[in-house]
A and B are shown apart, each in its own frame.
Chain A
Amino acid sequence: MPSNILHFFDNFWLAIGATIAIVMAYLSVNAIMLIWLERKLAARIQRRIGPTRGPFGLVQQIFDMVKLFSKELITPDHVNRVLYLIAPVMIFAPVMALCTLFPISATWVFHDYSVAVVLLLAISGVNILAIFFAGWGSNNKYALLGAVRAVAQNISYEIPLILSIIPIVMMANSLSLYGIADAQTGVPYVLLQPIAAIIFIISATAETNRAPFDIPEAESELVAGFHTEYSGMRFGMFFFAEYSNMIIVCGLATVLFLGGWKGPYLPGPVWFFIKVYALIILMMWFRWTFPRLRFDQLMKFAWMVLVPLALINLLITTFVLKLI
């Protein structure tokens, strides 16, 4: 059994505080580094240089942060103030909660929930609510359109996402992330369940609203989608949430399909993060290669391709598991 972080501290509240501090520190650094990574990666793909301030352009991100913090927070007229102000906070909250779920090594886990998969999917649903609040509260047609698209897209893609997780859960016979990762002895599930893995990564890309599924914030159609009316750090929160969400879905994919922390020679956490960031780079690679799908094609793809495929995959898995 992995150790619980609560065991390190005598005081319950101290443990909670330490968790929050670690998670927040990690997520901020992670988001900054991911933005840097994305910019460098895009630059290399497009044969540019990318940010150049400081060593490897790393200092650029700090300047950008300072800029975001120092910008005026504009609240447009006639917004629904409650929804408008709560949305940027709300979009970041589930990410923080979910970060604590991942087992980054055989012994390092904040808390091992026995139903972590269900919890993760449930909490990540709050994300959609935050996007809709932002779009609805902004009093802007572009934002509203983006929000409507986001809700439809996220709800549609949650189904293939869950359908691709179920075979894994069945194979691992566990709903705990630690249990699923632990069950992958020898062969990771990506080799046993390639279709589920592909469906998962596609749905995950859609869930995080990243290209080619970035229609809620399609800049050539909807200006900036649901966060059109946000400025300064409020916009920064949406921006950070996007990258933090990538960590969540890629972490989930790592645990479900790539065996979590497992790997030869290197210690567990290193393997875990190598796998997570490799998946993130894959998602970034998608973004800088493909055009954006249209709204109805996106829906069609989810319901006509991914859901049937996932269902067939589920059926086959069930039969095979029964036979074994």
Chain B
Amino acid sequence: MAFVKDILDGTKTLLTGMKVTLNNFRKPSITSKYPIEKIEMSEAFRNVIVLIEKDDIQSHDCIGCKACERVCPSFCIDVDGERPEGMRRMRATEFKVDFALCSDCGLCLDVCPTDTLGYSKIHDETGYNRSDFVYDLLDPWRDAEGPTVERLRKLEEEQAAAKKARTVKKAAAKKAAAKKAETETSKETTEETPTNKNDAENNDA
């Protein structure tokens, strides 16, 4: 009798399974027709890195510091920068990424001092050979590089002027303060730090 019961129980489980597939048969499909309907990439989606436009300078802000090149585990970033005539800050002259080697780890984004690196949202690029995946990130910025440098130079001059005015003002204030105060050392350090910080900010901006 156990034999018959086994068969009946087994048949029941098989029918349950068929019921499950039938239920799913009736439901609509959950796949998306990929090439026809594009999928929106998420905010954090990682693909080949790009240079992000910074609002205040209306251009990318890569200063060619090579921090990303040094940290890259796959050695796929190639950066070079130079100082344009009469400017304090550097501008990148070359930024190449070999995406065939990239592992999308995001370390370059972490170390970027000017936060000008981001991910592109391309997700379906193809190519016939490896060299197709060497991206020149400066390509979209090249044409506007001349005016940008001019603008930056002007900006820098303005900032320098503003800073000069500020330091003059500060020096005056300091003089006034020094007159009043008896101990200088502690105050000097506290005031020097903000000045340095301002410098750093100017550089970054």
Contact = CB atoms under 8 A, between A and B. Distances in A.
Q: Check A-B contact in the complex, CB < 8 A.
A: yes
Interface of A: 41, 43-49, 52, 285-286, 288-290, 305
B27 interface: yes
B17 A47 contact: no
B159 to A, nearest CB: 59
B7 A48 contact: no
The 6 closest A-B pairs by CB, nearest first: A289-B21, A45-B21, A47-B30, A289-B17, A45-B25, A47-B29
Interface string B8-48: 00000010011011101101111101000000000000000
A305 B28 CA distance: 38
A204 B30 CA distance: 34
A47 B18 contact: no
Contacts of B21: 45, 285, 288-289
A166 B29 CA distance: 44
Contact of A305 (B7, B25, B31): B7
Given A44-B25, A289-B17, 5 more contacts: A47-B28, A48-B30, A49-B33, A289-B18, A305-B7
Contacts of A52: 33
Nearest to B36: A52
Contacts of A285: 18, 21-22
A43 B21 CA distance: 11
Interface size class of B (residues with CB under 8 A): 10 to 19
B36 to A, nearest CB: 8
B14 A47 contact: no
B27 A47 contact: yes
A52 B25 CA distance: 17
A290 B17 contact: yes
A147 to B, nearest CB: 28
Nearest to A198: B11
14 contacts: A44-B25, A45-B24, A45-B25, A47-B27, A47-B28, A47-B29, A47-B31, A48-B29, A48-B31, A49-B31, A49-B33, A285-B18, A285-B22, A305-B7
Contacts, number: 34
Contacts of A288: 21
A148 B31 CA distance: 40
Contacts of B22: 285
B24 A46 contact: yes
Nearest to A286: B18
Contacts of A43: 29
Interface string B84-124: 00000000000000000000000000000000000000000
A73 to B, nearest CB: 29
B131 to A, nearest CB: 31
A44 B29 contact: yes
Nearest to A212: B14
A225 B14 CA distance: 26
A290 B27 CA distance: 20
A289 B17 CA distance: 6
B1 to A, nearest CB: 14
Contacts of B29: 43-44, 47-49
Contacts of A46: 24
Contacts of A48: 29-31
A305 B29 CA distance: 38
Nearest to B7: A305
A47 B22 CA distance: 11
A23 B7 CA distance: 40
Contacts of B27: 47
Given A44-B25, A305-B7, A290 B14 contact: yes
B24 A47 contact: yes
Contacts of B30: 47-48
Nearest to A52: B33
Contacts of A49: 29, 31, 33
Contacts of A44: 25, 29
Nearest to A50: B29
B28 to A, nearest CB: 7
Contacts of B31: 47-49
Nearest to A46: B24
A45 B18 CA distance: 10
Contacts of B18: 285-286, 289
Nearest to B31: A48
A179 to B, nearest CB: 32
A41 B30 CA distance: 15
A289 to B, nearest CB: 5
Nearest to A48: B31
Nearest to A49: B29
Nearest to A282: B18
Nearest to B19: A289
A289 B22 CA distance: 9
Q: Which of A41, A45, A288 has the most CB of B within 10 A?
A: A45
